[in-house]
Amino acid sequence: MDVGSNHSKTSQIPKSPTPITLAQAALYWLKLGFISFGGPAGQIAIMHHDLVEEKRWISEKRFLHALNYCMILPGPEAQQLATYIGWLLHRTWGGIIAGGLFVLPSFFILVGLAWVYMAYGSLPAVAGMLYGFKPAVVAIVLFAAYRIGSRVLRNPVTWSIAAAAFFMIFVFKLPFPAIVLAAGLIGFVGRNIFPQYFKPGGGHGSVQKEFGPALIDDDTPTPAHALFSWVKLARITAVGVVLWVAMISALTFRYGWDGTFPQIGWFFTKAALLTFGGAYAVLPYVYQGAVENYQWLSPVQMIDGLALGETTPGPLIMVVTFVGFVGGWTKEVFGPDAIFASAFVASAIATFFTFLPSFIFILLGGPFIETTHGNLKLTAPLTAITAAVVGVIVNLALFFAYHVFWPSGLDQPVDWLPVLITAIALIALFRFKVGVIPVILSCGILGMASNLFH
């Protein structure tokens, strides 16, 4: 029986997959844009299942090699991984299409939700659901701090970095970029003095398995377009710089440097370069700029935007689309008769400037990574930055909790229903491992029921 079974297995060796066209790949990337729920871990798991196990477009070793590179870059690693694989398969346009379609569905869904939020957010049913969303966000941000912390806070040094980051942003309101820079320097210096404290504490890697031959296999030669050359490096750098300068210059020429649109472009360019450790890491910086400095939206609107971002496919950093939309709506750049147009353009500007660096990083660094296949040496600064991010996220959770539990200020009584909903959400996340989207939706239903039947 066993012999027959083994013979059956060996006789069913998978054949080499058929080469795919750019159009076929584009259809998959578009589908992925609609089903990419679950944050970066879930999105990467979907791509691994589809592209490594089922379709066999890329081998597991090459998949993980690409992922390791994406993990050290600022920006959404899952979107960058899709860009990388698309580029490897179908050159530059393959990467642009893969990365673009990964976020396009999320962009239009969030624009629609943001419009409903701004136009109809005062309706009892909508307001009640948003009332339930807010405490869920408090629980989810705390859970994010726990997940990242459990991966990186494994010794007294990383714990100290996290505590110092929390102290500096909570007490001294130190800007997030300064915290990232300081943590990176600590990691850079510390790897030579105490290297044992800066070893990465896990990642997205998976157990090596054999799924059959792949289009891009372990021993597949690097495609000609993916070979490193200084000419390609200079060309891509020039294109990236020209694109950024042209867009920011056009906006500045039309609206002035202090105008809403140029400032959105400039601000989200800086935010894109600081997205180490995931979207939660850059949220404090987005809050500091969008809420406190520019006053594009209120603290409550920021929390609502994060809740809506959690319920849509695509990377969580797509919350910038919501921030841009509300900023354009609030500032009425095109006047009171064209509020939606102003909001839509602002959301598109925020999204463009957030993701442009991700495409440039992949197209710039991909050839070097593919040519060398060497071990990356930036894990120590990344570990230190990620440790600092934990402290920053805890501060963000406390800030959200303050606005949710004491909506009228600390001098007023606590609102106990959001506290109860937060506790229920935390139990669901920690104890029962319920997914983020079911938690968000369940809390929204609780909030809506409370508001309608109160």
Hey, what amino acid is at 138? V
Q: Is the pLDDT of residue 395 over 50?
A: yes
Confirm if 164 and 391 have CB atoms less than 8 A apart. Answer: yes
Q: What is the mean pLDDT of residues 110-139?
A: 89
> Look-up: residue for tokens 């798991």?
45
Confirm if 436 and 312 have CB atoms less than 8 A apart. Answer: no
Domain membership of residue 8 (yes or no) is no
d(C-alpha 105, C-alpha 115), whole Å? 16
What is the residue range of 344's domain? 105-201+243-453
Pick from 3-12, 166-175, 195-204, 315-324 the range whose average pLDDT is largest.
315-324
Hey, what amino acid is at 168? M
Domain membership of residue 96 (yes or no) is no
Confirm if 267 and 282 have CB atoms less than 8 A apart. Answer: no
Task: Give the pLDDT confidence score for residue 13 in this predicted structure.
Answer: 56
Task: Give the pLDDT confidence score for residue 368 in this predicted structure.
Answer: 84
Task: Give the pLDDT confidence score for residue 238 in this predicted structure.
Answer: 96
Domain membership of residue 85 (yes or no) is no
Task: Give the pLDDT confidence score for residue 371 in this predicted structure.
Answer: 73
**Count of C-beta atoms within a 10 Å radius of residue 232:** 17
Task: Give the pLDDT confidence score for residue 349 in this predicted structure.
Answer: 97
Average pLDDT over all residues of the chain? 86
Cα→Cα distances 436→96, 307, 440, Å: 29, 10, 6
Domain membership of residue 24 (yes or no) is no
**Count of C-beta atoms within a 10 Å radius of residue 173:** 10
Task: Give the pLDDT confidence score for residue 277 in this predicted structure.
Answer: 59
- Tell whether the torsion through CA atoms of 215, 219, 224 and 225 is positive or negative: positive
Cα dihedral 370→371→374→378 (10° resolution): -70
How many residues appear in the chain? 454
Total count of domains within the chain: 1
Identify any residues that bridge with 216 across adjacent strands, giving them in sequence order. Answer: 58
d(C-alpha 121, C-alpha 128), whole Å? 9
**Residue 39's pLDDT band (boundaries 50, 70, 90)?**
low
d(C-alpha 130, C-alpha 454), whole Å? 15
Domain membership of residue 38 (yes or no) is no
40: Cβ contacts below 8 Å, ≥ 6 apart: 76, 77, 78, 204, 278, 315
Task: Give the pLDDT confidence score for residue 418 in this predicted structure.
Answer: 94
Render pLDDT for 429-450 as a digit per residue (tens, 0 to 9).
999 988 877 888 899 999 999 8
Render pLDDT for 253-297 as a digit per residue (tens, 0 to 9).
999 999 999 999 999 999 998 776 566 777 888 888 999 899 999
Render pLDDT for 84-94 as a digit per residue (tens, 0 to 9).
999 999 999 99
Cα dihedral 4→7→8→11 (10° resolution): -160
Task: Give the pLDDT confidence score for residue 374 in this predicted structure.
Answer: 43
Q: Is the pLDDT of residue 199 over 80?
A: no
Q: Is the pLDDT of residue 359 over 70?
A: yes
Q: Is the pLDDT of residue 361 over 60?
A: yes
Q: Is the pLDDT of residue 412 over 80?
A: yes
Domain membership of residue 345 (yes or no) is yes
**Count of C-beta atoms within a 10 Å radius of residue 37:** 16
Render pLDDT for 51-109 as a digit per residue (tens, 0 to 9).
988 899 998 888 877 887 887 788 888 899 999 999 999 999 999 999 999 999 999 99
pTM over 0.85: no
Domain membership of residue 93 (yes or no) is no
Task: Give the pLDDT confidence score for residue 257 in this predicted structure.
Answer: 95
Angle (CA) 52 54 58, round 5°: 25
Identify any residues that bridge with 58 across adjacent strands, giving them in sequence order. Answer: 216
Q: What is the mean pLDDT of residues 133-162?
A: 87
Q: What is the mean pLDDT of residues 20-31?
A: 94
Domain membership of residue 398 (yes or no) is yes
**Residue 197's pLDDT band (boundaries 50, 70, 90)?**
confident
- Tell whether the torsion through CA atoms of 396, 397, 400 and 405 is positive or negative: negative
Confirm if 116 and 322 have CB atoms less than 8 A apart. Answer: no
d(C-alpha 45, C-alpha 51), whole Å? 10
Confirm if 173 and 399 have CB atoms less than 8 A apart. Answer: no
Q: Is the pLDDT of residue 11 over 70?
A: no
Task: Give the pLDDT confidence score for residue 17 in this predicted structure.
Answer: 83
Task: Give the pLDDT confidence score for residue 208 in this predicted structure.
Answer: 47
Task: Give the pLDDT confidence score for residue 193 in this predicted structure.
Answer: 86
Render pLDDT for 209-242 as a digit per residue (tens, 0 to 9).
567 788 888 888 888 888 888 999 999 999 999 9
Task: Give the pLDDT confidence score for residue 376 in this predicted structure.
Answer: 44
Which of 18, 30, 34 has the alpha carbon at shortest distance from 86? Answer: 30
d(C-alpha 6, C-alpha 253), whole Å? 71
Burial, 381: exposed, middle or buried (Cβ in 10 Å; 0-12, 13-18, 19+)?
A: buried
Q: What is the DSSP letter of 372?
A: H
Q: Is the pLDDT of residue 387 over 80?
A: yes
